[in-house]
Structure 1
Amino acid sequence: MNGENTRKERAGSYRGFELLPVHLYVLIHLKKAGVDYAKMIGKISGLPLELITDAIDDLLEIGLIERDPGSAVKRSKARFKKAFEVHKHHTYYRLSREGELFVRSIDEKWLKRYFDRLISNGWTVVKALAESRDVNEAGRKVSIDGETLEELRVLRFVTEKGRKTEFFRRLWESSGFKAR
């Protein structure tokens, strides 16, 4: 499969499967980490383990990630590990070849379409949120109505009090942008 096929699909979907921000985060995380396990992905992102494991199951099912075979992981393969080599006590995951190609096809244009499909005026709202301390400051830059705010909460981009979540910061920065 080449990158062209993934570009022709609607942003936010892969072979008809709608990708949520948590799916996108897991893919981008595995691209940077090489291999990692669910508990660590959850710890770094600040998301509940159940949400991460559900996302991993979805991504396994559609073939974007795969289980990493073997009984040990070297640091050259798991870039976030501190030890030179560790024995596996968890199930490690990595991007499949299809996953590599898909993640490679994600660029700013794709992300704009993705966020615009996700929420109303999505790219503008998400960019304003990334450049702000919280949703109140972002609301001074761009109109954020109650429905959009609720959607940002459901997506785990902001807390109940309107602060940006660690998950949102990591998703935004791992996408190649700098958050405030």
Structure 2
Amino acid sequence: MVSQAEIDRLRLEADTIMTRYQTVERALERARSESGEHWETGELPISLETPHGESIDVTLDLESSPADNAQVRYDRASELEAELERQQRIVGQLAPLPADPVAYLICYHLDAVEGNYPRSMAGHLDAERGQVEDLCEEMETAGVLERVESGTVKQRRVKAKQAEEVRQHHTYYRLSRQGDHLLRFLDDPEGKRNVLRHLPDGKTLVERLARGGPDYPRMTAEELEMGFEYVRHLYRALRQVGLVTEYEGSTIKASERKLKPKDETHRKHTYYVATDHGETALRELDE
């Protein structure tokens, strides 16, 4: 999560570099003329006095000028500030959820099976195991998930396994009470609107379907220059929320598909279309 403290720190470092411009310039020139570990890392740690008279530690890019070192921090602070503003527009219940479609899929999966471990979840969701592990840890820290206590996990609580009970050799997760509330929030119109704020690329996909008709992940990924796996998971997450749904017909008529007009298209892929909920959420966002 982006914090105001991180933004303030970056700007303070940038202001300090510019205020102590000559000191920074001399330190960089001296380091470039000397041997040392800084040549291996390309970075130069230095202590500087801020405009407020306090001492802070700053890590400089050895090859960049003082102005460039400062500008990188100003630019990053602006990016983080924009992200923070976006997060603050999201209703609180979605803020703890990582802005990743796989995070949504994990929550819906755990809602269905009541408990599972990352490697198994990765298989069910066709996602990278490392990504699932990282997201589970992040969501546990945020309070969306909780670990199932160690020992034997009863089958009634872990439906992903078929045995009557499962000897726990992995770290199992389940939705916390906060996670349950979050999924209920996603059932509400307000929750669906906020998904489009939380997942900006999701808004792009729903708009694409609403304006152009049925589309499938690979074509979307190629035309929008996004990763195929990312788009595939994004469509699935949006479907779970109810903003898109799979196109059920065997043939797509020309009048239905404006993205790539043909007399008709025989389906060879999984096509998606925007739902009424999706189109309503888009309209309400623009009001």
The question of 1:57 aligning with 2:152 is answered: no
Could you say which residue in structure 1 is the equivalent of 2:196? 115
Normalising by structure 1, we get a TM-score of 0.69
Q: What does 1:17-166 correspond to in 2, within 5 Å? A: 18-107=98-187, 109=189, 110-115=191-196, 117-119=199-201, 121-125=204-208, 131-136=214-219, 146=223, 149-151=224-226, 153=227, 156-157=230-231, 165=232
SS at match of 1:59: helix
Quote the offset at 1:169 in angstroms: 5.9
Q: 1:46 to 1:60 in 2, by over 3 A?
A: same
Q: 1:150 to 1:112 in 2, by over 3 A?
A: farther
Pick closer, same or farther for the CA change 1:72–1:89 going to 2, 3 Å. same
Structure 1: give runs of 5+ residues left out of the alignment.
1-7, 139-143, 158-164
Following TM superposition, by how much is the alpha carbon of 1:48 offset from its aligned partner in structure 2, in angstroms?
0.8
C-alpha displacement of 1:71: 0.8
Tell me the TM-score normalized by structure 2.
Answer: 0.46
Is 1:115–1:126's contact at 8 Å kept on the other side of the alignment? no
Q: Specify the code of the residue in structure 2 equivalent to 1:49.
A: R
CA contact (8 A) 2:93 2:185 kept: no
Q: 1:75 to 1:132 in 2, by over 3 A?
A: farther
Q: Give the secondary-structure state (helix, strand or coil) at the position aligned to 1:14.
A: coil
Counterpart residue type for residue 241 of structure 2: S
For 2:145 and 2:167, the matched residues in 1 are separated by 21
More relative contact order, 1 or 2 (CA 8 Å, 6+ apart): 1
1: CA distance, partners of 2:138 / 2:213: 27
Give the aligned CA root-mean-square deviation in angstroms. Answer: 3.4
Q: What is the percent sequence identity of the aligned residues?
A: 21
Q: 2:241 aligns with which of 161, 171, 175?
A: 175
Unaligned segments of structure 2, at least 5 residues = 1-87, 248-287
Query: Counterparts of 1:94 and 1:78 in 2: how far apart (Å)?
Result: 9
**Shift in CA distance, 134/22, structure 1 to aligned 2, threshold 3 Å:** closer
C-alpha separation in 1, matches of 2:207 and 2:91 = 16
| Larger mean Cα displacement after TM superposition, 62-71 or 19-28 | 19-28
Distance 2:168 2:162 in 1: 14
Q: What's the secondary structure of 1:70's corresponding residue? A: coil
* Inter-partner Cα distance in structure 2 for 1:98 and 1:134: 31
